[in-house]
Amino acid sequence: MKELVFLLEEPSAKAMIEGILPSLILESNIVVRYIVFEGKQDLEKQIIRKLQGYNNPHATFIILRDQDSGNCELIKSILKQKCEEANKFQAIVRIACRELESWYLADLEAVEKAYNRTNLSVLQAKKKFRNPDNLQSPSQELKSLVPEYQKINVSRIIAPYLNIENTRSPSFYYFISAIKKVSYS
Report if residue 162 sits inside a domain: no
Angstrom distance (rounded) from CA 144 to CA 154:
13
**Same domain, yes or no, for 43 and 87?**
yes
Q: What is the pLDDT of residue 25?
A: 87
Contact 142, 149 (CB under 8 A): yes
Separation between Cα atoms, residue 38 and residue 42, nearest integer Å:
6
Pair (66, 111) in one structural domain: no
Q: Please name the helix (run of DSSP H) or strand (run of DSSP E) that holds residue 50, with its range, or none.
A: helix 40-52
CB neighbours of residue 28 within 10 Å? 7
Total tally of structural domains belonging to the chain: 2
Q: Are residues 26 and 64 in the same domain?
A: yes
Same-domain status, 120 and 133: yes
The Cα 160–Cα 169 span in angstroms is 17
Dist CA 150 CA 169 (whole Å): 21
Whole-angstrom distance, CA of residue 136 vs CA of residue 21: 28
Question: Could you tell me if 17 and 88 lie in one domain?
Answer: yes
Summarize pLDDT for 96-123 with one digit per residue, the tens. Answer: 999 999 999 999 999 999 999 999 999 9
185 CB-near residues (< 8 Å, 6+ apart): none
Q: Kindly state whether residues 24 and 111 are assigned to the same domain.
A: no
Q: Within a domain: residue 156?
A: no
| pLDDT tens-digit map of 4-53 | 999 999 999 999 999 999 989 877 789 999 999 999 999 999 999 999 99
Residue type, 89: F
H-helix or E-strand spanning residue 93: strand 92-96
pTM above 0.85, yes or no: yes
